[in-house]
Structure formats: structure tokens, C-alpha cells
Structure 1
Amino acid sequence: MNIDTTDLALPISKKMFDRLLGERKPIRAVHITNFDGFEDLIALQKSRKQVSAMTYLSDSSIERVRDGIAQEGGMAVVLKGSPVLSSDIDLHSVVDEQGRRWIMLANITQSMGFDMLWKGMKKNIQDVRDEILYDLEKKFGGSPPFWEYLHVPLESEEWEEFQDEL
């Protein structure tokens, strides 16, 4: 997965977004792929696997069908399924080694022109994260092995302060 360690990543989880947004009705959307990707899509039928797709393709971006988005294109496949997350902008999701999709909070806020909102959100999220990590440290002693998976390492000053409090 190509996630910068300074990014705050949010997993795209159907269960989580159903809680946040309510369950949504199935829709039809277009997925751009090549022949190999098309074969993979056939194998994904009736599964809960997530696929990036779009419900609208402007005239100016029709070349994406030919050129592809993440890889070589050539095919536009119409899919029917329940949306996990929808947006008017490309969220530039990334897929980890387990097939889980993630979005970077910076991509969402910065592409929408909310740079100041991002800075405030990042600080608030880091504060909450630090409280959670501190509680985990106290409860279990030592660093839980999943910290690296959070993609939000503590700054060295935060870590020293954190260790002093123990």
C-alpha cells in the first residue's frame, strides 16, 4: 500500500459507513478496467469486495475508458451493487495487502479546498489517537503491534512525553 506515514488513513468499511450514513439502495455504476480486470470482476460476483466505480463520466474524461485509471483500460463495465461510499470527487482510494480500501483524509479536505479544515481535523484526530494509544499503553503495557498499521506514528516529542507519563 502506498500510504505516506504522515497521512491519516480512513478504512472504507461498509458496516461503518452504513452506521454513519444509513444503508443505501443498490445502484448501477461504471468500472474502468482491462480484460484481465474483467475476468477478476466475474470472480467477484456476489462477494462483498469493493470496487472503485463512477456513476457519471464527463465528456472530457471519456478518455479514461481507453487509457484506464489505475492501470491500462479499454473496457467500461456496468456493475450493480450497494455503494459503500460516494463522492462528487475522486477520493483516490488505495488498496492494502489484504484488499481493504483506504482514503486519505488529506485528499478529501484538500481537494475540496478545505486546507484549514484539514489542519484542524488532523490536530483533533491526533489528539484523540494519542489518548487512545495512552490508554492502551497503560492497559496492556508496551506498544501494541498494530500501531504501525494505523499509519499515524507519534512524533518523537510526543513519544518522549508519552513515555515520561508512564
Structure 2
Amino acid sequence: MAAWQVLIDFESDTKLSEEMAFDVSERLGEHGAVPSFELGGTQGSIVMCVDAEDVIEAARQGLEYTGQALPDCKLTPNNLEVTEWGKAVEHLHDPLYPEVVGYAEIARLAGVTRQRARMFPKIVDFPKPVIETAQGALYTKSAIEAWLERRTRKAKKA
């Protein structure tokens, strides 16, 4: 017997409410279930822990428990993910958002001054910012690194 994390995304034939989310948490409390509903809408998801012999049994149990937790709804699953518990815990440390950098970090990565880095957005193929803050634009670090790599290759060819 092994522990599995089961995530089920579904659509309901009835509108989902905050009260229904509390009911799911209570009914599936022994499985540590966490519901997430589009309040007033029909989309939802539930993540829970189940003990099962294998991935197929874990998926079956997750679907069964979800149906039992929302007995007055006809649910249509549209996504089902089953992950070994240890792997699921490892993924908790993965950042939800990509690493972002500002002009000081871009200058350091490019080996130029901050003033020069602030001129980069005027270059046609420079990445677009993902966030605009009062202190300035923020860019994904991976996009900046890829752009700098392309820029370096072009400079070497010339």
C-alpha cells in the first residue's frame, strides 16, 4: 500500500458554492482534501491523499471519493493527475512563478552598466516585461539569458 496525491479537475451540472467547498473538506477530511471551486460557476478541482496499491486504484478511489463528496452534482472529470506522495511533496518546493530580474540583475548578467541595461528595451528583439512595478519593469530571467546568448552569438559572427 502506498500514499498517492490525486488531483481531479471537473465540471459540475450545478453551480458550486462556498458552502459546498466546506462540505467537501468535511466529508473528505480524512484524505486531507482541498477543494477549489469557481464560486457561482461550474468548474472545480479537489486534491487529496489516498492509500492504494497502484496508480490505477488511486485514480479510481479519487474519482469515487469526489463523487461521494458532491452527491447532488453530476460531475464530468476533465483532468486527473495521480502522483506518488513523495514526488508530490518534492514539487511543493517548486516555485509557482518564474524567476524575474530587474535592470540591476540584467546589467550584471550582461556585464554592462545599469544605464546601458535600461536601454536594452529599445532593441527590437529584447523580451517584453512580465511585470511593471513602480521601481521598473521585471523580466523572466530565462528570457533574458536566452536573449543575451543570441546577442553574444551574433556579436561573435560579425
Structure possessing the higher relative contact order (Cα contacts under 8 Å, 6 or more residues apart): 1
Q: TM-score, normalised by structure 2?
A: 0.26
Higher strand share: 2
Larger radius of gyration: 2
Q: TM-score, normalised by structure 1?
A: 0.25
